[in-house]
Amino acid sequence: MTERSNLSEWSAAIRVDLLNKALEFSRRPAPRGGFVPGGMGAALTVVDALVVLYLDILQHRPALSAWPLRDRVVFSKVSAWPAYHSLLYRLGYLNRPREWDEPLDMNADPGVDFSSTGAGVGLSAAVGMALGLRLDNKKSRVFALMESSELGGGETWEAVDRAGIEKLSRLCAVVDWPRPFAGSGAEESGGGAAAAEKFRAFGWESVVVDGHSHEELSYAFSKFKKTVTGRPVVVIAQTRFGKGVAALERTGTTCGIDQLSAAVAEMSESLKGSIRA
Amino acid sequence: MPDSGSDRFIREVCVLAGRFPPLVLVQSMNHDREDIPEPLRGRTVKVGASSSHAIALSCGLASVGKIVVLATDRPDFIGQSWNDIRHTLLQSLQNITVVLLPPSPRSVGPVVSESWSLLRQIPVTEIYVPADVEEMRQALDYCVTRHAPTFIHAPADEIDPAAPAPAFGSARFSPGVWPRLRDGSDLAVITAGDLAAAALHAASRLAAEGIQASVVHASSIQPVDRSALLALVRKIRRVITCERHSVCGGLGSAVAEVLAESGSGAKLVRLGMSDLDPAVSVSAKSILRAAKALLKSEGKRSGS
């Protein structure tokens, strides 16, 4: 188990990476830049779940990315890819950092179990992986990191249904559920607790946690790992959109380049001396 | 009761499952097959009539080392799951073979197929249209070792029993090769898939009237056998294409693109399905009628 202070450091370091990359992007001449990228808020929210998964929970080996007994991760939250780049680079999977809008490719990039530019397909792919691994009697687990908006798509619920019917007990969906803000649609759907109830109706176990609490995330994932209930598990991670940038957390929308620069300076200052290279 | 296309397909996939232990069958069917024998039975996933889920689920299976054969009898499968095909399947480039089976006779659904017109949008897509069960078996054999997504449009259940079987000789399925089944210099009939038999039947009837027609079997919609096509139109200036597909975007359009770009000047008639008259289907009779109309329009009479 990784020390809590280490998890906090990793989360902060990845957030600084994201802000720096976003700043770089915003300084590029148009049309490939010149504005604060959309998706920055989404990328910031998912950092804690990613860090806990990779440092505390997953069976994986950066030095042997194709290790056949590894756990699998489907990063379905496509708008937050930069968080994933940053983590995989810091773990040693990727040999160079990626630019904000550079996609990852499962056929070329080590550590990437699945890639798609389509929205809402991740859980279906994760179900396929879990089925395939079970056919081979492998004990590897599959995690699908999703965003709450995917629960508005029919394909996602087809996957939820299939996982429940097949009793895929080594499948865990992690749904990033940001606090509602105007236009997110999240407030209309009844919130994370209502979503958890819907999953239970399809034969899943479900738990709602603070998506920025490393302790709660770690507890929920560890419980999933140790318990084989015969059901897939969903962890609804309630988060704050744009976590780490006050302007984003407050409004749930984008922020200006000046606010971004200020956030970078503030976060870097607070981590001086302890940021990993 | 004769075997249906689905029966024959299941038999072939079972044989492949014996040879390839990682092979998994995913069924996205209006009417799931329940009678699947081992070893395939334990390696079959049914996803019901949902289509977009089937594609991404198959990608997940393939990502953990499975060879996936995804079978569907839904005529609208490609259209419904196009988003997932475009953004997931064709980007991940995994070993998945999508087999479009003939619709079950109990199905009620859309008649006009536009699948090929969608799939042709992506140049790397390979689309095979075998003329008969044996060619389908060979195409499946090729596709499951391909390590790339491929599509097979299985032959229809009812191939005209009066029609002669296509004469393939010793060389049958060869990816991207369009065999010439019959030689003739007055016009050429290029058919997709199981219409080869109907075209040969029509060609025999034309020959009895002194009209000599070449028949070419387009065993793939993509890739197009450009060299065979261009060699054909160097000597024959009248071409009819036939397909169980919309006249827009399928075989006829693929041939038209090659002919137009080459400046061949050949006259082309496309036979296929149309929303304007969905009940009309291509048959030996309609090919015969189109051939005579084409010759008449150019002032060519029988035997001249």
Nearest CA in chain B to A112: B63
**Among B20, B59, B82, B124, the residue to mutate for chain A (most A Cβ within 10 A):** B59
Q: Contacts of residue B28 in chain A, CB cutoff 8 Å?
A: none
**In this structure, how many other beta carbons lie within 10 angstroms of the beta carbon of residue A35?**
14
- Tell me the nearest-neighbour CA distance from A141 into chain B, angstroms: 12
Nearest to B56 among A124, A131, A135 (CB): A124
Question: Which ipTM did the prediction report?
Answer: 0.89
The string of pLDDT tens digits covering residues B10-31 is 889 999 999 999 999 999 987 7
- B64–A132 CB contact, under 8 Å: yes
pLDDT of residue B118: 93
Report CA Rg, chain A. Answer: 18
Nearest to A128 among B50, B52, B59 (CB): B59
**Top-ranked range on mean pLDDT: pick from A182-191, A250-259, B104-113, B197-206:** B197-206
Q: Is the pLDDT of residue A275 over 60?
A: no
DSSP of chain B: -PPPHHHHHHHHHHHHHHH-TTEEEEEE-SS----PPTTTGGGEEE-TT--HHHHHHHHHHHHTT-EEEEEE--TTHHHHTHHHIIIIIHHHT-SEEEEEPPPPTT-----S--HHHHHTTSTT-EEE--SSHHHHHHHHHHHTTSSS-EEEEPPPS---TTSPPP--TT----TT---EEE--SSEEEEEEGGGHHHHHHHHHHHHHTT--EEEEEE-EEES--HHHHHHHHHH--EEEEEEEEESSSSHHHHHHHHHHHHT---EEEEEEE-TTSTT----HHHHHHHHHHHHHHTT--TT-
- A118–B87 CB contact, under 8 Å: yes
Distance CA A43, CA A14 (A): 10
**In this structure, how many other beta carbons lie within 10 angstroms of the beta carbon of residue B18?**
12
**Among A72, A136, A162, the residue to mutate for chain B (most B Cβ within 10 A):** A162
Q: Is the pLDDT of residue B303 over 80?
A: no
Distance CA A103, CA A97 (A): 12
Distance CA B132, CA B191 (A): 13
Q: Is the pLDDT of residue B278 over 80?
A: no
Within an 8 Å CB–CB cutoff, is residue B88 touching chain A? Answer: yes
pLDDT of residue B88: 86
pLDDT of residue B300: 60
Q: Is the pLDDT of residue B277 over 60?
A: yes
Q: Contacts of residue A126 in chain B, CB cutoff 8 Å?
A: 60
Nearest CA in chain B to A106: B92
Q: Which residues pair with B98 in a beta bridge?
A: B70, B151
Q: Which residues pair with B270 in a beta bridge?
A: B241
For residue A62, which of A111, A107, A104 has the smallest C-alpha distance?
A111
The string of pLDDT tens digits covering residues B222-259 is 999 999 999 999 999 999 999 989 989 999 999 999 99
**In this structure, how many other beta carbons lie within 10 angstroms of the beta carbon of residue B182?**
21
* CA distances (Å), origin B131, targets A129, A250, B156, B199, B244: 34, 63, 9, 11, 12
* Range in A12-16, A183-187, B115-119, B295-299 with the lowest mean pLDDT: A183-187
Query: How many Cβ pairs within 8 Å bridge chains A and B?
Result: 101
pLDDT of residue B279: 63
Within an 8 Å CB–CB cutoff, is residue B124 touching chain A? Answer: no
Within an 8 Å CB–CB cutoff, is residue B45 touching chain A? Answer: yes
Nearest to B53 among A74, A132, A159 (CB): A159
- A133–B84 CB contact, under 8 Å: no
pLDDT of residue A26: 85
- B53–A113 CB contact, under 8 Å: no
Q: Contacts of residue B43 in chain A, CB cutoff 8 Å?
A: 135
Mean pLDDT for the stretch of residues A10-32:
87
pLDDT band for position A168 (cuts 50, 70, 90): very high
DSSP letter assigned to residue A150 = G
Q: Exposed e or buried b for every residue in B283-297, given b needs 16+ CB within 10 A? A: bbebbbebbbebbee
- A158–B24 CB contact, under 8 Å: no
**B47, B35 Cβ separation under 8 angstroms:** no
Q: Is the pLDDT of residue A202 over 70?
A: yes
- B61–A130 CB contact, under 8 Å: no
Distance CA B205, CA B203 (A): 5
Nearest to B50 among A106, A133, A158 (CB): A158
Q: Is the pLDDT of residue A10 over 70?
A: yes
pLDDT of residue A186: 52
**In this structure, how many other beta carbons lie within 10 angstroms of the beta carbon of residue A192?**
22
Q: Is A64 left (phi over 0), alpha (psi -120 to 50) or beta?
A: beta
pLDDT band for position A37 (cuts 50, 70, 90): confident
- A124–B62 CB contact, under 8 Å: no
Mean pLDDT for the stretch of residues B190-205:
92
**B219, B130 Cβ separation under 8 angstroms:** yes
pLDDT of residue B8: 83
- A129–B61 CB contact, under 8 Å: yes
Nearest to A162 among B47, B61, B63 (CB): B47
- Name the pairing type of β-strands B213-218 and B180-182: antiparallel
For residue A20, which of A272, A269, A265 has the smallest C-alpha distance?
A265
Task: Report the predicted TM-score, pTM, of the whole model to 2 decimal places.
Answer: 0.90
Q: What share of chain A has pLDDT > 70, as a percent?
A: 89
Q: What share of chain A has pLDDT > 90, as a percent?
A: 54
Within an 8 Å CB–CB cutoff, is residue B83 touching chain A? Answer: yes
* Range in A109-118, B176-185, B232-241 with the lowest mean pLDDT: A109-118
For residue A22, which of A40, A6, A9 has the smallest C-alpha distance?
A40
For residue B250, which of B272, B283, B229 has the smallest C-alpha distance?
B272
The residue whose two tokens read 């699947």 is B36
* CA distances (Å), origin A184, targets A154, B96, B174: 18, 36, 53
- Tell me the nearest-neighbour CA distance from B27 into chain A, angstroms: 13
Degrees, nearest 5: CA angle B189-B195-B200 = 55
pLDDT band for position B302 (cuts 50, 70, 90): very low
Please name the residues between 139 and 158 in chain B that touch chain A, using a CB distance below 8 Å: none
- B59–A116 CB contact, under 8 Å: yes
